[in-house]
Amino acid sequence: MLQIGDLIWGLLFIGCAAAIQVQITPTQGEISVGESKFFLCEVLGDVKDIDWYAPSGEKILPNRPDIFVSRGDETMSTLTIYHANVDSAGIYKCVAKNGDKEAQATVQVKIFQKITFESAPTPQEFNEGDDADIVCNVVSSPPPTIIWKHKGSRIQVAKDVRFKIMDNGHLQIRGIKKTDEGMYNCEARVMARGEIDFRMIRVVVNVLPTIRARQSEVNATADIGISALLACDADGFPEPTVTWAHNNIVLETGDKYSLNEDGSELVIKDVKKVDEGDYTCIAKNKAGEKAEEVSLNVFVQPKITYLNNQTASEFDDQVTLTCEASGDPTPTISWSFDNRVLTEGEQSLDRNIVVRSHARVSSLTLKNVLFTYAGQYLCTASNSIGQDDQHMYLEVRYAPKILGRVTVYTWEGNPANISCEVEAHPGASVVWFRDGFQLPSANTTNMKIYNTPTISYLEVTPDSQNDFGSYNCTATNVMGSESKEFLLIQADVPSSPEIKLVEPFSSTAVVKFEEPDSMGGVPIIKYRVEWRLPGQDWIGSEHNAKDDMTTITIVGLKPETTYEVKMSAINGKGEGESSPARTFKTEPVREPSAPKLEVKMQDRGNTLKVNWIKQDDGGSPIKHYLVRYKAKHVSDWKPEIRIPHNSEYVTLSGLDWNTEYEVHVVAENQQGKSEPGIISFRTAVDPTTIPDAMDGGSGLGTGAIVGILIVVFFLLLVGVDVTCYFLNKCGLLMCIAVNFCGKAGPGAKSKDIEEGKAAFTKDESKEPIVEVRTEEEHTPNQEGGGPTEPNETTPLTEPDGKTVKDDNTKGETEVKNATAEVKTVPNEAPQTNGNESKA
């Protein structure tokens, strides 16, 4: 097929065979700046020259660097424009000549600028709060339309006044926020060409640091080797760097300071007073810097810097003690003497003791000095940080002062010490005189002198009435001397006590009395109580005197019987007169008084010994004691236990751990039962309970302990079995030897011995077994002995040791002269019932 171009040239040739035809291909051209393009000039007809002319009309010469013309053959020439620019635009003309024949054609070349982003840097950073100008410089011809997008959506400047597209295409954000940060799309469009291009720009919003001190003021104590921690927390974007400064000097890690990794914590080592002041915490990033002040207050513990001992003489006008102290805050200074605190101002009604303080100095002034001012004084300097104490000694020189009792009582043949106690400084020498003669004299053998640093004793053993009278003690030192007269007086027996009341019972009586009006000069040693049936001989007992003693109990009386009672007091001189006899009548036979109880914990915390003290037996011998007990949280009592009359305690074993129990003990005589003596107690916590291991501690677990115990027990059994085999021909090894090795076994034992005799019966009851054991012991007044000297806590004695039988338990004999021990064993049947006990 013929090409369209060939067809056109053929028609032209036919129509104008003699004419020259010129055609430029392409007929028009658009070139983007920087691009290259060529144009082909084709000539129809015979031509000699084909030339190209620039838009300026100048002929384009060959070999130009920007525009190149080349002729391919006789009918064709090519115009090439390299790297076009705006100056390359215009109408280019191709002229063909052949002699006088000429033909030409033109082509209009248009140069346009493609969308070009001259400047659209990324990222672009701004400070929060600034008016941000996001740069996006775009050129094109014609000028492009700029569209900004954020988060996939076109920015509508009409809806948010903070956003504005500038004339130069930049995007302005007024008061940019951290939330405005992100990727922005700068899009350029040329509608005429349908050209579009864009650039993604990352916008970074830097935030000015914020800074906050953890403590605006930090307190520290100097000179005790401690460190102070100053800390501030900074925030911002990008992450700020933190530094510290003091007195305009940046601090770095070293011997004095240390900083943590991010610089937020400053440690000041071994704080001194010179470290006090303001420290600046500086946080800095691209957005700027912020600073915060932290004050370090350095306090100093009080320290007493001056305090000296002083010396004065009695009756001096005054002496002043001075105490100086340093510290920050300024310490307050106080004085102490003889457990009395002395502070600012006058400290005595006579104005003889005055304390004055100024700044760091305190003075204690003692006016009209007395010997009692001597001693150790304490100066105390204190502030809110601590305190310092130091002692000083005030020495007061004074003449001797004699102390001691002026009167001393004794009797002929009884040595007595007359004490001359001397206070003096310096120490004094002491001399004794009688009737102007120094003692002891050459002709005295019944006087001796004993000296200690502060007391001189004159021991006098009176031989006759002449040795009683006045004795002189004289003490002397460099400050002076003092004498004092002492009287040695003949002692007398005490006057009689006054019986105030006799409180009778069936077999006892309590005598209440007042001590004698006159002691005779020496202490009472004993009291004698005597009683009798009217018209019969007096029976008496002596009782050692005690402080505040006002009652004595007499025992072994008969019920419903009239008695007379009198008392006398005994001192070292002898026995005084008896008081007037007083008559009383004992009560009829009745039930006993309630026993007094006390509890003693045994080695095992769930075993307790309950003791009782027998009170008045009501005029009839105690037959037995009835004991019952229970845990307080339950209602049922354990089986009643009967204890022999001469027993004084019961032992309760196998009790529940950590449980409160109540015990009742009743004494019973022929007339009936006493009120119960009641006592409560709590058993110990189970010692086998293994507490949780303490944090960080170490130890064996429960399983390990149990395993060790099993191994030890097994080894012990093996050892016992081997011993039994060789010594007694019995045991597991012996059994194996007899049954498997054919050896003969030992002689058979009786069936009763093999099976054993049960000490007590058992049943299905879960109550404890009660085991009664007796120990032979002597009980006073049970075998005809005389009455003992009773007191408020001494057990009262029985009138005889006869066996008493209960009507309800005929044929049953009480264990006499024995102490009962009762033990309870869990999960065993009780061996007692409500009325009896078996042994």
Q: Residue 679 has what pLDDT?
A: 92
Angle, vertex CA 19, rays to CA 18 and CA 22, nearest 5: 145
Residue 539 has pLDDT above 50, yes or no: yes
When pLDDT is averaged across residues 463-484 and rounded to a whole number, the result is 93
pLDDT for residue 627? 93
Share of the chain above pLDDT 90, in %: 47
Mean of pLDDT values over 264-284: 93
Shortest CA distance to 411 belongs to which of 494, 518, 495, 521?
521
Q: What is the pLDDT of residue 737?
A: 65
Residue 566 has pLDDT above 90, yes or no: yes
Q: 674: pLDDT confidence band, cut at 50, 70 and 90?
A: confident
Please determine, for residue 643, whether its predicted confidence score (pLDDT) is greater than 60: yes
* pLDDT value at 755 more than 80: no
pLDDT at 359: 83
* Rounded mean pLDDT, 627-640: 91
At 740, is the pLDDT very low, low, confident or very high (cuts 50, 70, 90)?
low
pLDDT given for residue 158 in this prediction: 86
Arithmetic mean of pLDDT, 200-226: 91
Give CA separation, 792 vs 404, 543, 550, 686, 801, in Å.
Answer: 37, 11, 11, 37, 23
Q: What is the pLDDT of residue 739?
A: 66
Q: What mean pLDDT is predicted for residues 198-208?
A: 94
For the cut 90, the answer to whether the pLDDT of residue 291 exceeds it is yes
Of residues 399, 392, 421, the one with CA closest to residue 315: 399
Does pLDDT of 748 surpass 90?
no
Arithmetic mean of pLDDT, 278-305: 92
Tens digits of residue pLDDT in 10-43: 544 444 445 788 888 898 888 888 888 899 998 8
The per-residue pLDDT for 698 is 43
Under DSSP, the state recorded for 575 is B
**Looking at residue 839, what is its pLDDT?**
24
Residue 7 has pLDDT above 70, yes or no: no
Three-state SS letters, 499-510:
EEEEEECCCCEE
Does this model's pTM top 0.75? no
Residue whose C-alpha is closest to residue 636's, from 763, 766, 820, 762? 766
Mean of the per-residue pLDDT values of the chain: 82
Summarize pLDDT for 239-254 with one digit per residue, the tens: 999 999 999 999 999 9
pLDDT of 693 strictly over 60: no
What is the model's pLDDT at position 815? Answer: 31
Confidence of residue 690 (pLDDT cuts 50, 70, 90): low
Describe the crossing of helices 732-741 and 702-728 by its angle, rounded to 10 degrees.
Answer: 60
Which has the higher per-residue pLDDT, 412 or 443?
412
**What is the phi/psi pair of residue 7, to 5°?**
-65, -45
Rg (CA), the chain: 63
Element (H, E) at 732: helix 732-741
Residue 528: what pLDDT?
95
- Residue 270 pLDDT class (50, 70, 90 cuts): very high
Buried-exposed string 172-193: b where 16+ CB fall within 10 A, e elsewhere? ebeebeeebbeebbbbbbbeee
pLDDT of 385 reads 86
Nearest to 705 by CA among 691, 685, 718: 691
SS3 at position 419: strand
pLDDT band at 645; cut points 50, 70, 90: confident
Mean pLDDT comparison of 103-112, 559-568, 605-614, 775-784, highest-scoring range: 559-568
Per-residue pLDDT reduced to its tens digit, 300-347 = 999 999 999 999 999 999 999 999 999 989 999 999 998 888 888 777
* Confidence grade of residue 838 (pLDDT, cut at 50, 70, 90): very low
pLDDT of 818: 34
**Per-residue tokens: 32:** 């983007």
- The pLDDT value recorded for residue 6 is 57
Per residue in 134-184, pLDDT tens? Answer: 999 999 888 999 999 999 899 988 888 899 999 999 999 999 999 999 999
pLDDT at 85: 83
Q: Does residue 747 have a pLDDT over 50?
A: no
Task: Give the pLDDT score at 296.
Answer: 93
Whether residue 400 has a cis bond before it, omega within 30° of 0: no
The pLDDT value given to residue 443:
79
pLDDT at 491: 93
pLDDT confidence of residue 758: 31
**Residue 695 pLDDT > 50, yes or no?**
no
**Residue 477 pLDDT exceeds 90:** yes
Instruction: Quote the strand ranges of 343-385, DSSP E.
Output: 345-346, 353-358, 361-367, 375-382
> Using 50, 70 and 90 to split pLDDT, how confident is the model at 741?
low
Q: Residue 462: CB partners within 8 Å, gap ≥ 6?
A: 410, 411, 412, 413, 414, 416, 446, 468, 488, 490
**Predicted local distance difference test score (pLDDT) of residue 779:** 36
